[in-house]
Amino acid sequence: MSETILKVNNIHKSYTTGKESFEALRGVSLSLEQGEMLAVMGSSGSGKSTLLHILGAMDAADEGKIWLNGELRKDYGTEPAATRIRAEQIGFIFQDFNLIQDLTVEENVALPLMLAGEKNRVIWEKTDQMLEKVGILDKKKNAVTELSGGQRQRVAIARALITEPKLLLADEPTGNLDYNTSIEIMQLFLELQQEKDHSIIIVTHDAMVAAYTDRILFLHDGLVRDEYRCQKNGNDMDRIVDKFKMLSLKNTSEVSDMCHKTEEPIYVTKNGYDDMVIMSMESYESTMRQAAMYRDIELSEKQIEAGQTRDARTALREIQQKL
Ligand code: ADP
Ligand code: MG
């Protein structure tokens, strides 16, 4: 059995602006296996960045548990532990690269080692190795402002990898890149995953990007609503797009169209927040697996009670009765 590198259970996070409070995450649970590449997909505002910042120890959750390398870390999002976790265990990659404009390519990449107080010889040796790995060693003396978007993201990836973190987190890493450059960056993630056994979480709203990963979690309104394991048989993109659309279906005719189109059994349940949640069977089974994993037997029993397996047509009839 593979090892779980990161596991989170029931993460909640609210933002307060003035008197208004908004719950961006409403009980997110997930786990990441060693060597796995996971995508978190969701439309804008679904809570993707909020989640990734918490996983990256850049922000603290209001509620929920986080295990890193099998160890329950109550101090995950709080200083001084958070700084250590970020420096030693996590590489973070941003949509807008977050490079320091006044530094050269090699200085940007070397920075985390300099901050860690590494010896000069080691710093420049590792920096060269890392720049070579991401394919921009020939640009090392350039200012980052002289690079293309794809090249800048390569610098950012090299910087994230230089401390050899086990966990790589990327927030829409291809969001500012064109289609072909996005493919190049995803190929690079694949190479990293294959050669070094990095565990990677990529946040994206792009089905093409998600199709490169092993597994996709669909986030909607601060909850994981569905899951898909990529089959790598050429059909993933279509399935991902269908599931993505399914997240925001609002009325029965939309659900009906989608059920007929995908011919996939769906599962209807109540989750305490919305009137109804429509999940694929795959997602239902994964919820059950998670429930068992966390020994949350009460939850699983409640869910079994709430609705048994139904085919799409039966589920639809029920939805119509409830509306
Ligand atoms: P995504 O990355 O999926 O687009 P975010 O995690 O950035 O979504 O945001 C989720 C929700 O939380 C949004 O409604 C957003 O407006 C809100 N939000 C995010 N950050 C803050 C903040 N610092 N203060 C107030 N609200 C925030
Ligand atoms: Mg975001």
Ligand closest in space to the Cα of 45: 1
Least confidently predicted of 176-180, 247-251, 272-276, 317-321: 272-276
CA of 48 to the centre of ligand 2 (A): 5
CA of 225 to the centre of ligand 1 (A): 18
What residues flank ligand 1, with Cβ below 6 Å? 15, 17, 22, 24, 42, 44-50
25-45 confidence digits (pLDDT tens): 999 999 999 999 999 999 889
Pairwise CA distance, residues 45 & 271, whole Å: 20
Average pLDDT over residues 95-116: 90
Residue 297: which pLDDT band, with cuts at 50, 70 and 90? very low
Q: Whose CA is nearest to atom 23 of ligand 1?
A: 15
Tokens encoding 251:
């009325």
Q: Which of 12, 21, 50 to mutate to test the pocket of ligand 1 (most atoms within 8 A of CB)?
A: 50
Q: Whose CA is nearest to atom 26 of ligand 1?
A: 15
Q: Which of 22, 58, 95, 220 to mutate to test the pocket of ligand 1 (most atoms within 8 A of CB)?
A: 22
211-248 confidence digits (pLDDT tens): 999 999 999 889 888 889 999 998 899 889 888 877 76
**Across all residues in the chain, what is the average pLDDT?**
82
By CB atoms closer than 10 A (0-12, 13-18, 19+), residue 242 is middle
**DSSP H or E run through 11:** strand 4-17
Tokens encoding 207:
């089905």
CA of 20 to the centre of ligand 1 (A): 14
Q: Are 199 and 33 in contact (CB under 8 A)?
A: yes
CA of 212 to the centre of ligand 2 (A): 20
Give 224-227's long-range contacts (Cβ < 8 A, gap of 24+). Answer: 224/28, 224/29, 224/30, 225/277, 225/279, 225/283, 226/279, 226/280, 226/282, 226/283, 227/282, 227/283, 227/286
Q: For residue 312, how many other CB atoms are within 10 A of its CB?
A: 20
Average pLDDT over residues 297-316: 43
Q: Which residues pair with 6 in a beta bridge?
A: 32, 68
Q: pTM for the complete prediction?
A: 0.82
